Amino acid sequence: MPLLKRMRLGPETSISDNNHQAWDVFSAVVDNYGDIGVCWRLSRQLVAEYRINVRLWVDCLASFQKICPEIDPLQQKQQCHGVEIRQWTDPFPSVEPADVVVEAFGCKLPANYVEAMASGGRRHIWINLEYLSAEEWVDSYHGLISPHPQLPLAKHFFFPGFSPMTGGLLVEKGLADRRRNFQACLSLKEEFWRGIGLPVPENEETRVSLFCYENKAVSNLFSGWAKGKPPVVCLVPEGVATEQIERFFGHSSPVPGNMFKKGGLTVCVISFLEQDSYDTLLWACDFNFVRGEDSFVRAQLAAQPMAWQIYPQEEGAHWPKLNAFLARYCCGLSPDAAERLVAFSEKWNRGEADGADWEKLWIHRAELENHARDWADKQEEKEDLATNLVNFCNSKLK
Ligand code: TRH
């Protein structure tokens, strides 16, 4: 962590303060979809709720297109949902830096852009948007400032998180109402399933979505679900758990639309969905396996039971993060349900969970469902990340 100074967050400001404010959001795709997933969600929210002029710089438009099919990977500059999307090229073009500059997940701003920030004679707020963690140390690092070693600039560290001392979670206005409305309405659910080419769930079936990293436990779960009751329908986005599907069903190169059946288990391979439709999928399933950062948050806001596969880090740095989340999430669950969820989560992340672990967890289905609803309600009551970020930047720009 670079040199940081403690600072106080600023007072609230009204929406009109942000009219015509310009923000640059920088996102490097790295290896997956989480970084662009978060930046895209944040950018859309800044435009829709704060009328901010957002330029989103992305280094890999092809990956972006996976979660937003409207993106044309060949266009250097395009508009989408009110956001100006720019290809982040090297060398980086000479542009006027925005009022607020968001460097997401340590993606390292282009050197000429940083120099332009320092030499333009006007104030820029430079935000380093960090990864989400439920760990307690985040409270004291959120909002700290790190001066640039040579230039008259400083970065502000902005941490998403679960406590009120952090930047919060990305939760758009009206999300909870849309989700509740959907979950209470049979015809909306039927329309959704038909829209993605899947049958409407049968009464006794458990419908599960599976978005994970390489995980040996998938085969064990498939075996357990195939032998067990009630029937499980498992929806797997293309490219996920491919080897296990191939081995378990003896079918090479599964593609969207394929449906495989063994005993009580049906696996449906589905296309990658546009980000909002993926949210709806999480709302519609009985249980969601999610990963990384953004699907993990969206599964919580879907108010359904879930299991998280955390992004594995070197030297096991991810284990305290997983435990910190489970400690927060399990508060309020009965000791037995909490124990089962922790055991299942740990084994799932070690690639060791199996059908028996699933059964022991799913015995608590009703309690897990109530708890997931309470948890989502609590997250939605808090101030959301975009609002906290806008207020923070406005207090600095004054
Ligand atoms: O893709 P991820 O594994 O991303 C990860 C994490 O962010 C991790 O912290 C980071 O270090 C690493 O990337 C580089 O998982 P995540 O975070 O859930 O992001 C997936 C995004 O894809 C999310 O925005 C949801 C979206 N998505 C869709 O839009 N449609 C889909 O069908 C699916 C399965 C996902």
As given in the structure block, the two tokens for residue 22 are 């310009």
33 lines ligand 1 (CB under 6 A): yes
Q: Which domains does the chain have, with CATH numbers?
A: 22-170+383-397 (3.40.50), 175-381 (3.40.50.2000)
pLDDT attached to residue 398: 79
Which residue's CA is the nearest one to ligand 1's atom 25? 295
User: Ligand 1 test: best mutation among 27, 29, 32, 130, most atoms within 8 Å of CB?
Assistant: 32
The pLDDT profile of the chain, 398 residues, written as one tens digit per residue, is 334 443 434 434 444 457 679 999 999 988 899 999 999 999 999 999 999 999 999 999 999 999 999 999 999 999 999 999 999 999 999 999 999 999 999 999 999 999 999 998 899 999 999 999 999 999 999 999 999 999 999 999 999 999 999 999 999 999 999 999 999 999 999 999 999 999 999 989 999 999 999 999 999 999 999 998 899 999 999 999 999 999 999 999 999 999 999 999 999 999 999 999 999 999 999 999 999 999 999 999 999 999 999 999 999 999 999 999 999 999 999 999 999 999 999 999 999 999 999 999 999 999 999 999 999 999 999 999 999 999 999 999 87
The single-letter DSSP state of residue 5 is B
| Residue 131 in contact with ligand 1 by CB distance below 6 A | yes
pLDDT of residue 90: 96
DSSP sequence for 363-387: TTHHHHHHHHHHHHHHHHHSPPHHH
The predicted structure's pLDDT at residue 17: 57
pLDDT for the residue numbered 76: 97
Q: Measured in angstroms, how far is the CA atom of residue 60 from the centroid of ligand 1?
A: 14
Residue with tokens 């435990």: 323
The edge-to-edge listing of strands for the beta sheet with 287-291 is 259-262, 265-270, 232-237, 206-210, 287-291, 306-309
Q: How much is the pTM?
A: 0.95
Say what the pLDDT of residue 303 is. Answer: 98
CB atoms within 10 A of CB 106: 12
40 lines ligand 1 (CB under 6 A): no
* pLDDT computed for residue 126 by the predictor: 98
Task: Kindly list the distances between the CA atom of residue 19 and the CA atoms of 24, 197, 229, in Å, as whole numbers in the listed order.
Answer: 15, 41, 56
